[in-house]
Amino acid sequence: MRKLLVRLGLIAAVLALVGGCAGKSGEENDVGGDFTFVSPGGQTRIFYPQDERGTVRGLSGPDLLKEGEQIGLDDFKGKVVVLNIWGSWCGPCRAEADDLQAVQDKLGPQGAQVLGIDVRDSRSAAQDFHRDRGLTYPSIFDPSGRTLLQLKNFPRATVPATIVLDRQHRVAAIFLTEMLQDELMPQVQKVLDEKR
């Protein structure tokens, strides 16, 4: 319980710092503009209306399972992308991996794609995590957090975190907490059902 309270306190501090350093909610996220993370009021679940979404551009990095290859958002044009920031060392990440796989299995045929970003990890530990759980969705190997820097102002210490991007790769929702299938699936489905 003490560890949980310490973790929640750290998350709240990071969110307060990030929220305090950024501008007003939405001002950087004008339609057609680039995404800059803002956490209004320290919320851990943030939803953006279509007319206030900022675009994530050029996010890419080394493929976890295919050494020497790169993978990124440009590989999934026209798809709703569920970015999941995880590490093999993270307990909640272990709990949500099967749920993310379920989202991929059930909503992949409709145009959804889960893309992991593995942080602060060794390649062998992350690959074992991926294989042991039978995960079929790809991940970017990002031990230094360089790929996360492409998400402007995003709190790099928040793991796990999930970001739902619409088909234009604009940020529709952010979850700075563990996400299970029964919560995530309806949110991804809602974005899949949006008119383009």
| Whether residue 94 has pLDDT greater than 70 | yes
**CB count in 10 Å sphere of residue 134:** 9
- The per-residue pLDDT for 3 is 47
- The per-residue pLDDT for 181 is 94
Residue 19 near residue 40 (C-beta atoms within 8 A)? yes
Q: What is the pLDDT of residues 13-57, one digit of tens each?
A: 443 333 333 333 333 334 558 999 987 777 899 999 999 999 999
Compute the average pLDDT of residues 56-67: 95
Nearest to 155 by CA among 76, 58, 85: 85
Which residue type does 104 have? Q
| Whether residue 97 has pLDDT greater than 70 | yes
Strand partners, 142: 119
> What sign has the CA pseudo-torsion 58, 59, 65, 68?
positive
Q: Which residue ranges form the domains of the chain, and what is each CATH number? A: 2-192 (3.40.30.10)
Compute the average pLDDT of residues 62-66: 96
Structure token digits, residue 63: 């493929």
- The per-residue pLDDT for 157 is 86
Which residue would you say has higher pLDDT here, 172 or 7? 172
27 Cβ partners below 8 Å, 6+ apart? none
137 Cβ partners below 8 Å, 6+ apart? 100, 101, 104, 113, 114, 115, 116
DSSP state of 34: B
**Of all residues in the chain, what percent carry a pLDDT higher than 70?**
83
| Whether residue 80 has pLDDT greater than 80 | yes
Residue 100 near residue 180 (C-beta atoms within 8 A)? no
Q: What is the pLDDT of residues 124-156, one digit of tens each?
A: 999 999 999 999 999 999 999 899 999 999 988
Question: Which residue has 């306190």 as its token pair?
Answer: 9
Which residue would you say has higher pLDDT here, 8 or 174? 174
Residue 148 near residue 60 (C-beta atoms within 8 A)? no
Compute the average pLDDT of residues 107-129: 97
Question: How many whole angstroms separate alpha carbon 178 and alpha carbon 189?
Answer: 18
